[in-house]
Amino acid sequence: MLPTRRCPLSQRTTLADVAAAAGVSVSTASLAFSGAGPIAAATRERVLAAAAELDYSGPNPLGRQLRSGRSGIVGVVVGDALRRSFRDPVSVQMLDGLVGTLGEMNLGVLLIPGPTDPSEPPVDPLVLSAAMDVAVLLWASGSADPVLAALRRRGVPTVVVEGIPEPDVATVGIEDRQGIAQVAQHLVDLGHRRIACVALPFDRTRGEGVVDAERLAQVQWQITRRRLDGMYDAGVQPVAVYETPASLVEHGAAAGRALLSGADRPTAVLCQSDLLASGVVLAARELGLAVPGDVSVAGFDGLDLPWLAPDVLTTVAQPLAEKGAEVGRSVARLLEGTYPPPVVMPVELRVGTTTGPAPA
């Protein structure tokens, strides 16, 4: 057994020590570090020298934070357990854009796991008690979202991504309803009448399988709801809707196997995400079905999917990194103390090689 060695748990020297060593007042020493006020160059030098002498590496953030009432932290509640969110390029690319923008404003990102399965508590403890100036909610379920409710109670200004615009939060979203309508119309134009739908999760129970009418009425998550509505907008009444527990290739593959191995299989599968769609394509190949000869497949997101090569998925592209940057800008507005107007970003139909005329 090694002897346990103590480690120093925090710095000892304070601004007061440095000020004393430099022969100035604490307030002057503070200015030397923050630069927020008039100070003689010589004085600053003296303070900095004293700091170096004492191994003082700058004002303690905890003191600064309490005094200024700001933590410099943005809590980001991701849409799922981290393990799954990180596997979804949609979340990752957005997060990347967001972290970049926030970094420029000297804000840090506190990662908060989102709603997992119902066996877990609905709200992570960090949501309840971590220090944060603003929160960002990816994939909020709607105005009754328990996480959103908790943040409201705390009075934490919040940016909701893919939610519903509401007076007391900032919102960033995309034209997904119109986008899905476009790609659905594209399938109709190709002559498809038997169209199945592979949907994102309905709620935190994260069920899996073809749903009945009752379940279909229970969709809680707004992103899923809107994308279903977009499909209806194009006049498509799907022959089946398959609910998935997460936007991942394996769930798309499972959906594909279920939908395409039955007797009167659909001629087209409209998926609410690219990852789900690529799973469906893989399942179709597995089953020996030609894409798009036997079945057309379309997705949503506009991801780069090299493993589908030589196929290119028909999809609706959304500007992921820019969406993240836009969220960052909304965060900045909230910090300034005003609610930015809701942002809705455009999407674009991109016809690839996975959709074609309905088979005769």
Partner DNA sequence: ATGAAAGCGCTAACAG
Partner DNA sequence: CTGTTAGCGCTTTCAT
Residue 353 near which of DNA, a second copy, none (CB within 5-8 Å, type-dependent)? none
Instruction: Name which position in 45, 49, 53, 67 contacts DNA (CB under 7 A).
Output: 67
Name the residue with tokens 């609410």. Answer: 272
Q: Quick count: other Cβ atoms within 10 Å of Cβ 25?
A: 12
Give the 3-state secondary structure of residue 105: coil
Q: Quick count: other Cβ atoms within 10 Å of Cβ 248?
A: 19
Question: Closest Cα to residue 339, out of 160, 202, 95, 139?
Answer: 160
Residues 85-124 that bind a second copy (CB under 8 A): 86-87, 89, 92-93, 95-96, 99-100, 103, 106, 108-113, 124
- Is residue 38 a contact point for DNA (CB under 7 A)? yes
Count of residues near DNA by CB under 7 A: 30
Query: DSSP of 272-309, one letter per residue?
Result: SSHHHHHHHHHHHHHTT--TTTT-EEE-SB----GGGT
Q: Which helix (H) or strand (E) holds 100?
A: helix 89-104
| C-beta closer to a second copy: residue 93 or 267 | 93
Q: Quick count: other Cβ atoms within 10 Å of Cβ 342?
A: 16
- Is residue 126 a contact point for a second copy (CB under 8 A)? yes
- Is residue 31 a contact point for DNA (CB under 7 A)? yes
- Is residue 25 a contact point for DNA (CB under 7 A)? yes
Bridge partners of residue 296, in order along the sequence: 268
- The two tokens of residue 269 are 């599968």
Residues 198-227 that bind DNA (CB under 7 A): none
Strand 343-345 to 134-138 pairing: unpaired
Chain residues binding a second copy by CB under 8 A are 2, 4-11, 55, 57-58, 61-63, 65-66, 69, 71-73, 81-83, 86-87, 89, 92-93, 95-96, 99-100, 103, 106, 108-113, 124-126, 128-131, 150, 153-155, 157, 167-168, 249, 306-307, 334-335, 337-339, 341
Chain residues binding DNA by CB under 7 A are 10, 14-16, 23-28, 30-31, 33-34, 36-40, 42-43, 59-60, 62-64, 66-69
